[in-house]
Amino acid sequence: MQIISFLFEKHLDKTVLVIAVILSILMLSADDDSQINSARAISSFLLYPVDRASSYFSDMEQLKEENLRLRELAATLHHERERLTQFREERNRLRQLLGFRKDSFFEFIPCEVTARSSNIFHHSVTVDRGKGSGIKVGMAVVGYRGLVGRVVQVFGSSSRVLLLNNKSMSVSCLDKRSRVVGMLNWERGNLFRLDFIGREEDVLQGDTLITSGFGKILPKGFPVGTVFQVAEEKTELSMRVSVVCMTELNTLEELFIVVGGRDWDSEDIFNRLDIVKDPAR
């Protein structure tokens, strides 16, 4: 080891020359296949830094392009936010002029399903949020795609949620497209029917149903189901509207409990975002 260190430190140029000559002689004395493989190995070793450099600059170009796209997206979102803010202010002024009540949006408390009812005629789940989280009886419960039920019992650290697929639960629904109102009732599985729909009313296959907010039992505007069949009843005075629920009620795991409304003018949500951006605050 000392000899090798001495050669490379004191006679680097001569040592490299000798090694190159020896390698050349070995390659010349080898067969054609060995020469080709050796040449490939040496060229790969020598060109590796070049490949790494070209890959680095290629990655930098991709990062620059991605950064440019993100800047364009951020500018677009900022512009859209300003437009939505203007629409919100205009909407609030119109509601105030018309004497409508002040509008608000809701907050959502996440929870997990910890138990399911074993009674096939009374479908409910237990979630891990209770009085300690401010949960109250009657609060709506939604999934990722729409309404799933409402809170019927509250304990210290858990609550029981009655699901939509119960004969005892009816939901006033609004056709999102035509604004027709009906009562949603469970039939079987994930299938429901929309009752009290007249023959002349405008309900079509593919329409989305949302909560109407009538009676103030459930908040307005949450998706509930999709119309998949519309047929005339035998009486010819009403239509049979079949609906499939937005959410698969038998596979619930994570849910959200809808808690009290918050004014649109509230800055709390933006303060929370600022805290997330700057954890030191």
DSSP letters of 10-52? Answer: HSHHHHHHHHHHHHHHHHHHS-HHHHHHHHHHHHHHHHHHHHH
Asked if residue 185 and residue 59 are part of one domain, the reply reads: no
Asked if residue 57 and residue 82 are part of one domain, the reply reads: yes
How many domains is the chain partitioned into structurally?
2
CB 211 within 8 A of CB 218: yes
- For the segment 143-193, what is each residue's pLDDT rounded down to a tens digit? 999 999 999 999 999 999 999 999 889 999 999 999 999 999 999 889 999
Q: What percent of the chain has pLDDT over 70?
A: 69
Asked if residue 244 and residue 182 are part of one domain, the reply reads: yes
Asked if residue 251 and residue 138 are part of one domain, the reply reads: yes
Residue 26 lies in a domain: no
pLDDT confidence bin for 117, thresholds 50/70/90: confident
Residue 18 lies in a domain: no
Residue 232 lies in a domain: yes
Residue 281 lies in a domain: no
Asked if residue 135 and residue 212 are part of one domain, the reply reads: yes
Q: Which of the listed residues 52, 68, 103 is the one where a domain comes to its end?
A: 103
Residue 23 lies in a domain: no
b/e per residue, 183-194, with b = 16+ CB within 10 A? ebbbeeebebbb
Work out whether strand 159-163 and strand 147-154 pair parallel, antiparallel, or are unpaired: antiparallel
Other C-beta atoms closer than 10 Å to the C-beta of 264 total 15
Distances (CA, A) of 224 to 83, 86, 96, 270: 29, 30, 30, 29
For position 158, which CATH number holds?
2.40.10.340
97 or 208: which leads in pLDDT: 208
What is the average pLDDT across 130-139? 93
Asked if residue 176 and residue 109 are part of one domain, the reply reads: yes
Distances (CA, A) of 245 to 232, 250, 253: 21, 11, 16
Intra-chain end-to-end CA distance of the chain, in Å: 58
Q: Which of the listed residues 39, 69, 103 is the one where a domain comes to its end?
A: 103
Asked if residue 210 and residue 177 are part of one domain, the reply reads: yes
Asked if residue 99 and residue 112 are part of one domain, the reply reads: no
- Can you give the pLDDT at residue 89? 82
Its pTM stands at: 0.61
Asked if residue 111 and residue 96 are part of one domain, the reply reads: no
Residue 231 lies in a domain: yes
Residue 270 lies in a domain: no
d(CA 78, CA 81): 5
Find the domain containing 76 and state its range: 31-103
Asked if residue 157 and residue 91 are part of one domain, the reply reads: no
Asked if residue 141 and residue 80 are part of one domain, the reply reads: no
Residue 206 lies in a domain: yes
Asked if residue 181 and residue 124 are part of one domain, the reply reads: yes
- For the segment 51-62, what is each residue's pLDDT rounded down to a tens digit? 666 677 777 888
Question: Where are any strands of DSSP class E within the chain?
Answer: 104-116, 124-127, 140-142, 147-154, 159-163, 171-175, 181-188, 191-195, 208-211, 223-232, 239-245, 254-263
Q: Which of the listed residues 87, 103, 119 is the one where a domain comes to its end?
A: 103
pLDDT confidence bin for 46, thresholds 50/70/90: low
- For the segment 21-42, what is each residue's pLDDT rounded down to a tens digit? 666 666 666 666 665 666 666 6
